[in-house]
Amino acid sequence: MQSLGTLEDLPQSYRDKLTELNLVPLWPNMRAVLPHKVPSRKTQTLNWRFDKLRPLLIEAGDLTPIEKAERRVLVLANPGHGLANMQATPSIYMGLQLILPGETAPNHRHTPNAVRIIIEGKGATTIVDGEPCIMERGDLILTPSGKWHQHQHDGGTAIVWLDILDLPLMYQLESSWAIEGKPQTTTLERDKSFAEYSAAGVVPEFDFQRASVDSPMLRYPWTKTRACLLEMAQHYGDRPLRITYVNPETGSSLFPSIGFGAMMLRPGETLPIPKRTTACVFHIVEGQGSLKVDTNDSIHWTEKDTLSAPGYTEITISNASTTEPAFIITADEAPLHRYLGIF
Ligand code: GTQ
């Protein structure tokens, strides 16, 4: 690889004239933006341990009333991207949200797509365009771009969930904005997904119409995903037990930006994840084990932890238990990479 001229090679007077006209010479910066063969990555491998985080989130409940927060969230910020930029990966934002009994996170809508993964607590509902989605451990609740959503909590103890949004991408595109709305009234008794998409290939006889919308299913219950993985384990020999969350009408990813998946690690299993272009995040629903990225030291994880890893790496994920399976939900930027032709 040829070494290129530096900025210092150029006379100061010339550099000043370039700056004056908002011009920059490419060659001193060429290798920074087009590194040889492997991209530079800011995403660091990291575990946001729930046991460390939880007390601070609960403390936020004392320190900041919901009226002063709109959303009471501690953001899982990857230091590689700069903490203030609130990014877990180039396109993924993650945060832990707390709602106390009786509180409502008020109605709003925004351009970023969002998914919540419930971590603990019961009795909360996210109302999405009038559709109330009940929130239980491990469920994925979608609030797609532009849809009104408010969270209300009628349960007896605090509820905590993980928010995953394509906010950094929208922000970079100068397209991230929100508006606040009046409180929603529910137009249904419960979410439509319950009846319309609870079993593949079966729909209610009356009033069902194939949706033409991008996100016909707003709630993906964990109990179904977990049962599916356990069923696969019966028939898959030693093949990887991984599923992808899809739009049930089209088979495409939940969002054009972020793709979601889940995996089960058998007792004692070590799963190599083939090298891919996309950064990835992992949320541990059940179990304990370790994550190894390239030749770095393994990182230990346990239930309710959330981890990140950069793309273009060999990732190995191991279940430390020899008796219990582990269950993990993943999110990555694969749909976007595929669209761009770089996956
Ligand atoms: O619950 O609507 O973590 O709008 C960040 C922005 C959660 C939400 C976040 C949001 C929300």
Does residue 48 have a pLDDT over 90? yes
Average pLDDT, the chain: 96
Instruction: Read off the pLDDT band of 281 (50, 70, 90).
Output: very high
Q: May I ask the CATH architecture of the domain 46-340?
A: Sandwich (2.60)
Residue among 104, 140, 101, 143 nearest 122 (CA): 101
Q: Which residue puts its alpha carbon closest to atom 8 of ligand 1? A: 71
Atom of ligand 1 nearest to the CA of 94: 3
Report the alpha-carbon distance of residue 121 to residue 116 in Å, rounded.
Answer: 13
Q: Hey, what are 134's tokens?
A: 């009940």
Q: Ligand 1 centroid vs 164 CA: distance in angstroms?
A: 9
Atom of ligand 1 nearest to the CA of 97: 3
- Kindly list the protein residues whose Cβ atom lies closer than 6 A to any atom of ligand 1: 71, 73, 95, 97, 105, 110, 114, 149, 163, 165
The predicted pLDDT at position 36 comes to 94
| Backbone phi and psi for residue 124, each to the nearest 5 degrees, phi listed first | -95, 155
Report the alpha-carbon distance of residue 113 to residue 92 in Å, rounded.
Answer: 10
The predicted pLDDT at position 209 comes to 80
DSSP-derived letter for residue 44 is P
Query: Domain limits of the chain?
Result: 46-340
Q: Is the pTM of this model over 0.95?
A: yes
Cα(first)–Cα(last) distance of the chain, in Å?
A: 25
Contact 196/139 with Cβ under 8 angstroms? no
SS3 225: helix
The predicted pLDDT at position 195 comes to 80
Least confident of 40-49, 192-201, 244-253, 266-275: 192-201
Q: Which residue puts its alpha carbon closest to atom 11 of ligand 1? A: 71
Q: Ligand 1 centroid vs 131 CA: distance in angstroms?
A: 18
Q: Ligand 1 centroid vs 71 CA: distance in angstroms?
A: 6
